[in-house]
């Protein structure tokens, strides 16, 4: 587990007395998505701490202000208004959730404040097209790209045709369902079964029983980590034999903690960032060096920790390009100027006005002894 003392320091809500540049973040540090939300916040804090230790930006320190939204889009919107109006942040980093992204879009709060959000833990198409805010700079591939990669593997390489899906009654769930259906339709296939569960996961056991009864060849899980773990546990308890795959919001570390390795063995997980332990990449070597401060001996850094870290690195690079006087407009223009930017083996591309900075997707699987194989 991440050390409690360092966790408290990373999630401190009190501005640092000597800090001059405020950067805000709203994530769930309580509720069903707390593990991922905390990791996103700590990942960002790791890099901001490194920059501050080296003197900050033009001698000004970064004050990273984190607020808990409990995975509630309305709370996230309220937090955002507070960060913009009271704390006068120059940028926002690494938010969590499709619902939160849609709330920010509909309110136009980012557009009105002309403040960039760098990184959003969502692959929803509605946040990437049409009336999507140009102030949101995505760092992850879409759910459509994840679904396409997964369905391609299952149908073209493994010969699977009977696929079921379990998804929450939420904007996230609907987008995941649409993405999987589109990938299936492309191959002239239909889903064998569709099971919807409550957004808070309260009826996940019922969903597991229903899907076990259908028992298709493969079940795709659209969920955050906590209900995903409960679904797998209950599904396996029913004696179902389906192969299980999940989209990237399911974090391996949370699954490993929630259920036995026997139950988790063989779970396929799509990922939208490089493997956090692939030390061949300069980005990962630097990330591991910084993450060492918050990990206990024998622990490995998570994808969510890396995601927050990447968002912070992009924010800092934008700050450095914004000139001597830090401003919201300067950060926004700094992000636009990044173009195709190599972080050290992982490239973000905002050239040509793009806001979806990455198309990276790879598939992993939980090994019999734990850990992930690629």
In the chain, domain spans: 4-141+278-353, 143-271
The CA-atom distances, in angstroms, between 239 and each of 193, 208, 209, 234 are: 18, 11, 10, 9
Per CATH, the number for 4-141+278-353 is 3.40.50.2300
Say if residues 64 and 52 touch (Cβ distance below 8 Å): no
6, pLDDT greater than 90: no
pTM: 0.94
Same fold, 4-141+278-353 and 143-271: yes
Residues 6 or more apart whose CB falls under 8 angstroms from that of 282 comprise 344, 345
pLDDT at 5: 41
**Domain 143-271's class?**
alpha beta
Token couple for 142? 């879409």
Say if residues 221 and 250 touch (Cβ distance below 8 Å): yes
Q: 71: how many CB neighbours lie within 10 A of its CB?
A: 25
For the segment 158-210, what is each residue's pLDDT rounded down to a tens digit?
Answer: 999 999 999 999 999 999 999 999 999 999 999 999 999 999 999 999 999 99
With b meaning 16 or more CB within 10 Å and e meaning fewer, what string describes 327-363? ebebbbebbbebeebebeebebebeeeebbbbebbeb
Q: What is the dihedral of CA 174, 177, 178, 183, to 10 degrees?
A: 160
User: pLDDT category, 8, cuts 50, 70, 90?
Assistant: low
pLDDT at 124: 97
Q: Give me the mean pLDDT over the 265-270 stretch.
A: 96
90, pLDDT greater than 80: yes
Average pLDDT of the chain is: 93
Say if residues 102 and 171 touch (Cβ distance below 8 Å): yes
Q: Give me the mean pLDDT over the 73-92 stretch.
A: 98
pLDDT at 357: 96
């Amino acid at each position: 587990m991440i050390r409690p003392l360092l966790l408290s320091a990373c999630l401190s809500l009190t501005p640092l007395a000597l800090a001059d540049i405020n950067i805000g973040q709203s994530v769930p540090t309580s509720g069903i998505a707390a593990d991922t939300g905390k990791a996103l916040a700590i990942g960002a804090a790791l890099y901001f701490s490194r920059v501050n230790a080296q003197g900050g930006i033009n001698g000004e320190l970064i004050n990273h202000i984190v607020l808990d939204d409990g995975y509630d889009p309305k709370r996230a919107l309220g937090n955002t208004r507070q960060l913009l109006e009271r704390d006068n942040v120059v940028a926002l980093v690494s938010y969590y959730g499709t619902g939160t992204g849609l709330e920010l879009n509909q309110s136009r709060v980012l557009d009105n404040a002309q403040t960039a959000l760098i990184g959003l833990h969502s692959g929803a198409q509605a946040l990437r097209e049409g009336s999507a805010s140009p102030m949101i700079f995505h760092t992850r591939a879409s759910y459509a790209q994840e679904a396409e990669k997964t369905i391609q593997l299952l149908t073209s390489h493994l010969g699977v045709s009977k696929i079921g899906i379990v998804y929450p009654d939420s904007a996230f769930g609907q987008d995941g369902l649409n993405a999987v259906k589109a990938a299936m339709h492309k191959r002239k296939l239909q889903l064998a079964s569709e099971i919807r569960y409550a957004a808070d996961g309260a009826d996940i056991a019922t969903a597991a029983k229903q899907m076990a009864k259908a028992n298709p060849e493969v079940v795709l899980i659209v969920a955050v980590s906590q209900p995903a773990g409960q679904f797998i546990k209950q599904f396996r308890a029913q004696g179902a034999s389906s192969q299980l795959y999940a989209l990237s919001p399911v974090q391996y570390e949370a699954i490993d903690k929630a259920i036995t390795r026997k139950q988790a063995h063989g779970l396929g997980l799509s990922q939208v960032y490089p493997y956090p332990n692939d030390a061949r990449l300069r980005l990962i070597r630097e990330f591991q060096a910084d993450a060492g401060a918050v990990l206990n001996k024998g622990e490995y850094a998570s994808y969510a920790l890396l995601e927050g870290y990447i968002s912070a690195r992009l924010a800092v690079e934008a700050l450095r390009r914004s000139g001597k006087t830090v401003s919201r407009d300067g950060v926004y223009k700094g992000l636009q100027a990044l173009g195709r930017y190599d972080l050290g083996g992982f490239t973000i591309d905002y050239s040509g006005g793009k806001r979806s900075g990455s198309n990276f997707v790879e598939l992993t699987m939980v090994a019999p002894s734990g850990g992930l194989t690629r």
